[in-house]
Amino acid sequence: MKRIAVFLLIALFACQFVFAGGKAESASGEKEIVIGVFEPQTGENGGGGFQEVLGIRYANKVYPTVTIGGETYKVRLVEADNKSDKTEAVTAAQSLISSGASVIIGSYGSGVSIAAGDIFLDNKVPAIGASCTNPQVTFGNDYYFRVCFLDPFQGTVMANYAWQEGAKKAAVITQLGDDYSSGLGNFFKRAFLELGGNVVSEQQFQTNTTDFKSILTNIKAAAPDVIFAPSSIATAPLIIKQARELGITAKIMAGDTWENSSIIENAGASAEGVVLSTFFDDADPATEEAAKFITGFKTYLVENKQPDIIPAVSALGYDAYLVALAAIEAANSTEGPAIRDALVKVSVEGVTGKIVFDENGDADKDLAFIKVIQNGQFKFLKTVSVL
């Protein structure tokens, strides 16, 4: 009984250091504020989610504190793995709320972001998405913001590129039940048709599919000029390799999720010529913050045994963290509603450009980067703006 009593006293003492709204004091007496990191580090999107996490962790290393009410607060990251799963996403979101997070960053993957949206809204804790591009993430949710462009824009960009390259017939491959894949595929189809193109084949596949030869055989029979296949990092090399094995010569294209070196490693020579859209290119830093980030983050990647190639989602994760700090300082508070109100008016010169939000909480961005895989590397082709 004495041991139990001592344990309870210790637990009670520890709890005295935690206050509502992510505000805390560490054992050393430092004031702290908690930022939640809501990302997949395992599951189908674990690879991309981890890249986003690295950007957030690096931002925390560069900017470890924030000023509130004239006092310095240490920023403590609390990470929750949503496992690339909509049910797990709800659990992860709830755990971050329980951790006392004042603001949350994430997630890679629109489906898990949408699934967790009501948790953040109901608890009045603002969330800042880094690369979740589906419009439904922020639509109707006053507590969800994001720093990336949206799928209607990205789909239009890729349709325009295909059309400008002479494509008249397109095939579209999407994943059933995946909000990112189905949404982006539909936006590409709509834009391509409006340009005068013809979508000659639409194919869908179930999650965890590994054999795509049946749907690719159907596509081959339709003889498209391009195949647009927005999907996960895990799925991409399978589609690419099997298409080439079947003798399909059409240009293969996708969205931002395909900017991952593991796709090149796993698809090998079959990946040559694949085209994708993305958010950032380190060859042309747009801001002073970008120039500083590129140098420092490459060193950070090497230190963490990662390739020294900067994924765009890492840059977006870094920017989401900068936006969170700016909103906290502008709110002069650790409370979620105050930070949310500050986010509406925030303006940040980030790595991916200037970030301000529209009435839906979406970043006002109109520029995408087109890249192609050449000689086993992602090569910048052009920037595209859709007005």
| CATH number of the domain within which 377 lies | 3.40.50.2300
349-364 pLDDT, tens digit per residue, is 999 999 999 999 999 9
Half-sphere exposure of 337 (CA within 13 A, CB side): 3
Residue 209 lies in a domain: yes
Residue 363 lies in a domain: no
Q: What's the number of domains the chain is made of?
A: 2
Across the chain, mean pLDDT equals: 92
pLDDT band at 13 (very low <50, low <70, confident <90, very high): very low
Instruction: Spell 372-383 as b/e; 16+ CB within 10 A means b.
Output: bbeeeebeeeee
Residue 233 lies in a domain: yes
pLDDT band at 28 (very low <50, low <70, confident <90, very high): low
- 73 shares its domain with 221: no
Residue 361 lies in a domain: no
Q: Are 48 and 310 in contact (CB under 8 A)?
A: no
Is the Cα torsion angle 337, 37, 139, 368 positive or negative in sign? positive
295-350 pLDDT, tens digit per residue, is 999 999 999 999 888 999 999 999 999 999 999 999 999 999 999 999 999 999 99
Would you state the structure tokens that stand for residue 149, as one six-digit string? 């462009």
pLDDT band at 23 (very low <50, low <70, confident <90, very high): low
Average pLDDT over residues 199-215: 96
- 24 shares its domain with 101: yes
Q: Are 316 and 278 in contact (CB under 8 A)?
A: no
What is the reported pLDDT for 4? Answer: 37
Residue 241 lies in a domain: yes
Residue 44 lies in a domain: yes
- 144 shares its domain with 291: yes
Q: Are 242 and 266 in contact (CB under 8 A)?
A: no
- 158 shares its domain with 143: no
- 195 shares its domain with 335: no
The span from the CA of 211 to the CA of 155, in Å, is: 26
- 201 shares its domain with 336: no
What is the reported pLDDT for 385? Answer: 76
- 230 shares its domain with 377: yes
User: Does the structure show a pLDDT above 90 at 387?
Assistant: no
DSSP for 254-305, written as a single string: E-GGG--HHHHHHHGGGGTT-EEEES--TTS--SHHHHHHHHHHHHHHHHTT
- 373 shares its domain with 336: no
pLDDT band at 379 (very low <50, low <70, confident <90, very high): very high
Neighbours of 344 (CB within 10 A): 16
- The model carries a pTM of 0.86
User: Does the structure show a pLDDT above 50 at 20?
Assistant: no
What is the reported pLDDT for 283? Answer: 84
Bridging pattern class, strands 198-205 and 169-175: parallel
- 110 shares its domain with 12: yes
- 177 shares its domain with 206: yes
pLDDT band at 386 (very low <50, low <70, confident <90, very high): low
- 156 shares its domain with 88: no
What is the reported pLDDT for 264? Answer: 95
Residue 362 lies in a domain: no
Domain that holds residue 107: 2-149+286-356
Residue 322 lies in a domain: yes
- 51 shares its domain with 180: no
